[in-house]
Amino acid sequence: MGLIRLLVFGFLGLSVAYLAISFYSRSIRKEKLEDRWVEDHPGDGDSPEREAFIHDGMVEYQSGIRPKLILLVYVIPALAALLLLYLINFF
């Protein structure tokens, strides 16, 4: 029961962290794309080409490695807990 409680609340807590970090990472990428567009097309604030450029960049980001790396938010604490369990009890 204690283990189930730990798993449920741990999963909920880490999910909050996962969503927050995903949101942050997307926001950073979008800002970079916007900055790059402004560098190449000074003065172009909101044209359809700009929208398409940012949209394509975000699609590319979604299929890249970075969103998958954020899943480590679940993996690392689980491994840390297992390591701690081993060191405390069996080392």
Partner 1 sequence: MTYLKWTLRATVAIVMFLLLHYTLPQHDIVRVVNTYQERQDLNDWTRVFWAKPDDQSAELVNRDVQFIQTVRRKSSLLGFVVHNREEPMVFRNEDTGWSWPPYFKFDTANLQTQADDLRSTPEEPKWAVMTHYGWRNELISVFPNAVAIKPIDGPDARVIPWFNIFFFVFLVIAVLFVRAMWRQFRERSIDPALNEAGEAWDRVDARADEAKGRFGRWIDSWRSKPKR
Q: Confirm or reject binding of residue 68 to partner 1 (CB under 8 A).
A: no
**Token representation of residue 78:** 């689980």
Among 71, 75, 79, 85, binds partner 1 (CB under 8 A): 85
Q: Confirm or reject binding of residue 6 to partner 1 (CB under 8 A).
A: yes
Interface residue list for partner 1 (CB under 8 A): 1-3, 5-6, 20-21, 23-24, 27-28, 30-31, 81, 84-85, 88-90
